[in-house]
Structure 1
Amino acid sequence: MSNKLDKAREYEVKKEMTIPEQQRPAFHLTPRCGWMNDPNGFSSYKGEYHLFYQYYPYDTVWGPMHWGHAKSKDLITWEYLPVAMAPDEEYDKDGCFSGSATELEDGRQLLIYTGVNKVEEESGEIKEYQTQCVAVGDGVNYEKFGNNPVITSEMLPEGAGKYDFRDPKVWRENGRYYMVVGNKTPDRDGQILQYVSDDGFKWTYDKTVIKNNHRFGAMWECPDYFPLEGKQILLTSPQDMLPEELEFHNGNGTLCIIGSLDENGNFCEENCQAVDYGIDFYAPQTILTKDGRRVMIGWMQNWDTCGIRRDDFPWFGQMSFPREITLHNNKLIQRPVREIENYYGKRISRQNVLISDSASLSSIEGRCIDMTINVRSTGEDLSYRKFEVRFADNGKAYSTVEYDPEQGIVKIDRKHSGSRRAIVHQRRCRVANNGGDIKLRLILDRYSMELFINDGEQVMSMVILTDIKAEGISFKATGELLMDVEMYELERK
């Protein structure tokens, strides 16, 4: 074990002890201390779920990337494990970037990641070389492969860029190992490359899975590639996107491409859509559970909004609530994992509530809740023009979800949540127009809100850092409507 890894392990143990439990979310994984970004190595190993993450333990800003580590029996309650990797080799001295994990035939766990090495060229320019590397371990301790890196720029196909080449996602299939990895071409276009190996250590280039063709942003980061309900799915996170109406927004986004494989195993696109329509969601990874569910988790943050932070917090960044993903009419459906029901406490239900202005309902409040709202017009004709849910409200700070049934638009808004920074605080998405009927499910967990619309047809996520004593929830209508509410308090077991 290297001195850098020893130092990080000692530091995080001591620092974690100074962080009060109530200063963290109750049901969303945060870093043990310091900084967190992309999920890494989301996997099942020795009967438990493992999740690694991009990690800088020493400060709440991005730094030389380590791999933090946690495990769980149910995808909701996480136990911290010692930091798994530190940037302690020449080929990864400037960061152990994102990657994935699988189990080797001999029972050991294989981590595959991007090593970063900044080199000064003869011109004096600093270039960042990215290579793919592996480490092997027992679920707690990992040893980097002596012949790292296992994939270098010399193993790229013609036309690929040798500098932006990262975030391998690995899987086993038919006795072989495969990985997809993101690449940016010299003309700033994203593509996903596939490599193959017989043992997980010696890799060869297989094929180009897909080219962006200058459609969605530039570099395609953090790919995931898997079958789902007879289709083939590619998830990736494009950088530097341009907006497309309300489907894709500016900056870094998430992209789901649904397709199929032809007789030669080539990916054929059928539909493209955003993964999350909110403010804070990036770099998702998925896992196949033992009971056959495909579950996704992402970094619930946005590179363009890292300015919203609490200066008094000794951590930054959190993971999304795990989501079961399925398909319906060739579109992505996302729902909170069903294990959430094991954390249900008090249930409160109100039926056929008439809302004609602003109303608060007794006992409907809280910051750790699972609340489902069904809204409908009072008659056959549309009887309202806007519906608003206000939450995390203390009379001064609050956040909102709004629905405009005439336009078919849902908006989330945190500009009054207490932020002092003029960054992205609102996001909108277009939803199915059902004559004023809509179903909104809000998962609140102290410092976040995830909105599942119409049984997961669309999801909108955002971080809020409002004081947790702000627990007020109210409802408002322009016009009048009927509303059903069912709320469960979420309790740690």
Structure 2
Amino acid sequence: MYYNGIYHLFYQFNPKQPIWGNIIWAHSYSTDLINWNPLEPALYPTKPFDVNGCWSGAATILPGNKPVILYTGIDTNNRQVQNVAFPKDLADPYLREWVKPDYNPVIDPDRNINASFFRDPITAWYGPDSHWRTLIGSKRGNQGVAIMYKSRDFLKWVKVKHPLHSAEGTGMWECPDFFPILTQPQARLESSAQVTGWKHMFKVSLDVTRYEYYTIGTYDFLNDRYVPEGTSPDNNTGLRLDYGNFYASKTFFDEGKSRRILLGWSNESDSQEHDWNKGWAGIHTIPRTLWLDGNGRQVLQWPIEEVEKLRMKEVVVDNKKLTFGDILKIEGMKTAQADVEVTFDVSSSFDKVEPYDPSWTDPQKLCMLKHAEEKGGVGPFGLFVLATEDKRERTSVFFRIFNENNKYIILMCHDPKRSSMGSGLYKPTYGGFVDYDIKKSGGKISLRSLIDHTVVESFGAEGRTCMTSRIYPKFAAGSHACLFAFNNGVGDIKISQLKAWEMRKAVINGF
């Protein structure tokens, strides 16, 4: 949350081990969302209503500029219940101490709710009937459900007769999120607005698949119903905020700069032995600004502008042609920690585009089939990041273009199968389609990759498709990391412009 000029990040944390268990609410603060300093933990399991765990929740700013946390606790009967916590001293600019009133829980699961699937309340919004509203993730059988509760005072809550939204076949909905969204990166929409016609975004994290999907739609605030517009599937095949290692995301409205900020969790999927060796399990991705694409069908995401303060040495490449098999090394900078922005021009090679097979409905599987070493027509082309000089170890970030009935289909991939030689770590290939008219854009498409030693975050076509990978190079680490641009398609590609920056280290929890 943003409060009195300071950003507060609360996160699930095990203070004893780099594995799941002993979870508390850790607390850090920042003035720029990039450099963070640690504070005392905000919430420990100490009361009957949370003695078995303090799970995810959200902050809301109440009238009078008073923050409150609404979070899921596991009580003495192992039920998931919803509790509130307040700052002990509003005069403390860092809100170091939080108090959990003994009248908790404020929301109990009734007999129609499975108390083992009732968690992750969202930031509340104030309705035209002078009631606060919040959503809690749940399920009924295999139907995902966002249960709505209303309150006048944030203490006594009443369940609305029907969910805000639900979808069959999706399973448990974790970490739901719901908010209005406009077509500007900066738009003054603090909460779920009450103006007819404003579009809303609804997002859930799928416990079964461990990834997220979202829809764009309208909020009928009089009847408390969310209605997707139907421009994307309302199930696990729908639009995703990130097509890689990214889960349990949360947004908040940044009052300081009038923008919607998204934070995601890039978790580990390796053995406990590996996590012990690494010393952690899971990181936050770089915060992203979120807004609605002009076509109204999807959201756009872009790293917050503050990350650019970490840029140092810059390297520029202009108007460089890449023919089939060309690999261009980006010289003159260290690339283990880098920010790369590149625009590719494929306009001279549309006649080389491969036909698209309608059975290719899963982009992740298609990236495995049409991987970086698989010669194509237009593509694969993109970047080798965190690569050794001989390129035997590398992670490939690339596009590939297909043609279906004179419509160009763009595939974006992260291919890390050669990223960590001999380590035995989990390194899946990721893929997503890009909703972008490359012909209309004159054959140009952009790619931005943030590279940070063990993580790569990529943004295709100005943030229309995003992808995050966790990788652990054995040899392409530190000063041995190299960066290349490549083309493995028979169609010529031109780098219209590539800009790359070395990045200085951010301060993370004081280090």
Same fold, TM-score > 0.5, yes or no: yes
Q: Distance in 2 between matches of 1:307 and 1:437?
A: 44
Q: Distance in 2 between matches of 1:143 and 1:385?
A: 56
| Of 485, 488, 491, the match for 2:501 | 488
Matched-pair contact (CA < 8 Å) for 1:209–1:267 = no
Q: Distance in 2 between matches of 1:355 and 1:377?
A: 10
The residue number in structure 1 matching 2:438 is: 434
Matched-pair contact (CA < 8 Å) for 2:433–2:465 = no
Secondary structure of the residue aligned to 1:340 is helix
The amino acid of 2:446's aligned partner reads K
**For 1:227-246, what aligned pairs fall within 5 Å after superposition?**
227-229=180-182, 230-240=198-208
| Of 96, 99, 123, the match for 1:143 | 99
Matched-pair contact (CA < 8 Å) for 2:39–2:96 = yes
| Of 267, 290, 295, the match for 1:301 | 267
The residue number in structure 2 matching 1:213 is: 167
The question of 1:88 aligning with 2:46 is answered yes
**CA distance 1:422–1:491, shift in 2 (3 Å):** closer
**CA distance 1:277–1:301, shift in 2 (3 Å):** same
**For 1:188-199, what aligned pairs fall within 5 Å after superposition?**
188-199=142-153
Greater shift, 305-314 or 339-348, is seen at 305-314
Matched-pair contact (CA < 8 Å) for 2:164–2:224 = no
The residue number in structure 2 matching 1:226 is: 179
Secondary structure of the residue aligned to 1:348 is strand
**CA distance 1:310–1:221, shift in 2 (3 Å):** closer
The residue number in structure 2 matching 1:179 is: 134
Matched-pair contact (CA < 8 Å) for 1:210–1:267 = yes
**Superposition deviation, residue 142 in structure 1:** 0.8
**For 1:58-457, what aligned pairs fall within 5 Å after superposition?**
58-117=16-75, 119=77, 128-137=78-87, 138=89, 139-154=95-110, 158=112, 160-173=113-126, 176-185=131-140, 187-215=141-169, 217-229=170-182, 230-240=198-208, 251-262=209-220, 263-270=222-229, 271-272=231-232, 273-290=238-255, 291-301=257-267, 309=274, 311-328=276-293, 329-330=295-296, 331-356=298-323, 357-363=326-332, 365-377=334-346, 379=348, 381-382=350-351, 384-394=378-388, 395=390, 396-406=392-402, 408-418=410-420, 420-421=423-424, 423-431=426-434, 432=436, 434=438, 437-457=444-464
**CA distance 1:481–1:213, shift in 2 (3 Å):** closer
Q: Distance in 2 between matches of 1:266 and 1:306?
A: 42
After superposition, the C-alpha distances for 1:72-105 in whole angstroms (9 at most, x for unaligned) are 1111111111111111222212210100112333
Secondary structure of the residue aligned to 1:149 is coil
**Superposition deviation, residue 327 in structure 1:** 0.7
**CA distance 1:209–1:73, shift in 2 (3 Å):** farther
After superposition, the C-alpha distances for 1:89-138 in whole angstroms (9 at most, x for unaligned) are 2221221010011233354431111111364xxxxxxxx41000111114
Q: Distance in 1 between matches of 2:164 and 2:119?
A: 15
Percent of paired sites with the same residue: 26
The amino acid of 1:427's aligned partner reads Y
Secondary structure of the residue aligned to 2:251 is strand
Secondary structure of the residue aligned to 1:92 is coil
The residue number in structure 2 matching 1:36 is: none
Q: Distance in 2 between matches of 1:310 and 1:152?
A: 35
Secondary structure of the residue aligned to 1:312 is helix
The residue number in structure 1 matching 2:187 is: none
Matched-pair contact (CA < 8 Å) for 1:55–1:66 = yes
**Superposition deviation, residue 476 in structure 1:** 1.8
The amino acid of 2:60's aligned partner reads T
Greater shift, 326-335 or 206-215, is seen at 206-215
The amino acid of 1:180's aligned partner reads L
**Superposition deviation, residue 472 in structure 1:** 0.3
Secondary structure of the residue aligned to 1:339 is helix
Greater shift, 417-426 or 65-74, is seen at 417-426
**Superposition deviation, residue 408 in structure 1:** 2.4
| Residue ranges of structure 2 left out of the alignment (5+ in a row) | 90-94, 183-197, 233-237, 353-377, 403-408, 507-511
**CA distance 1:214–1:226, shift in 2 (3 Å):** same
Matched-pair contact (CA < 8 Å) for 1:189–1:214 = yes
Q: Distance in 2 between matches of 1:364 and 1:400?
A: 19
Secondary structure of the residue aligned to 1:91 is coil
Matched-pair contact (CA < 8 Å) for 2:333–2:501 = no
- Superposition RMSD on alpha carbons, in Å? 2.3
Q: Distance in 1 between matches of 2:162 and 2:214?
A: 17
**Superposition deviation, residue 386 in structure 1:** 2.2
After superposition, the C-alpha distances for 1:123-169 in whole angstroms (9 at most, x for unaligned) are xxxxx410001111141101111111111123x6x4x3332000011
| Of 483, 504, 507, the match for 1:473 | 483
Matched-pair contact (CA < 8 Å) for 1:65–1:94 = no
After superposition, the C-alpha distances for 1:408-451 in whole angstroms (9 at most, x for unaligned) are 21210222222733645101112246256321110112221111
Matched-pair contact (CA < 8 Å) for 2:214–2:241 = no
**Superposition deviation, residue 54 in structure 1:** 0.8
Matched-pair contact (CA < 8 Å) for 1:305–1:424 = no
**TM-score with structure 1 setting the length:** 0.81
**CA distance 1:201–1:421, shift in 2 (3 Å):** farther
**Superposition deviation, residue 46 in structure 1:** 2.4
**CA distance 1:314–1:376, shift in 2 (3 Å):** same
**Superposition deviation, residue 382 in structure 1:** 4.5
**TM-score with structure 2 setting the length:** 0.78
**Superposition deviation, residue 177 in structure 1:** 2.8
Q: Distance in 2 between matches of 1:308 and 1:209?
A: 42
Q: Distance in 2 between matches of 1:308 and 1:348?
A: 39
* Superposed structure 1 runs of 4+ greater than 6 Å apart: none
**For 1:26-65, what aligned pairs fall within 5 Å after superposition?**
43-65=1-23
**CA distance 1:306–1:79, shift in 2 (3 Å):** farther
**Superposition deviation, residue 198 in structure 1:** 1.9
Matched-pair contact (CA < 8 Å) for 1:355–1:481 = yes
Task: Judging by fraction of residues, say which structure has more strand.
Answer: 1
**Superposition deviation, residue 347 in structure 1:** 2.0
Q: Distance in 1 between matches of 2:173 and 2:162?
A: 13
Q: Distance in 2 between matches of 1:257 and 1:465?
A: 33
| Residue ranges of structure 1 left out of the alignment (5+ in a row) | 1-42, 120-127, 241-250
Secondary structure of the residue aligned to 2:309 is helix
Secondary structure of the residue aligned to 1:297 is strand
The amino acid of 1:414's aligned partner reads P
**CA distance 1:451–1:64, shift in 2 (3 Å):** same
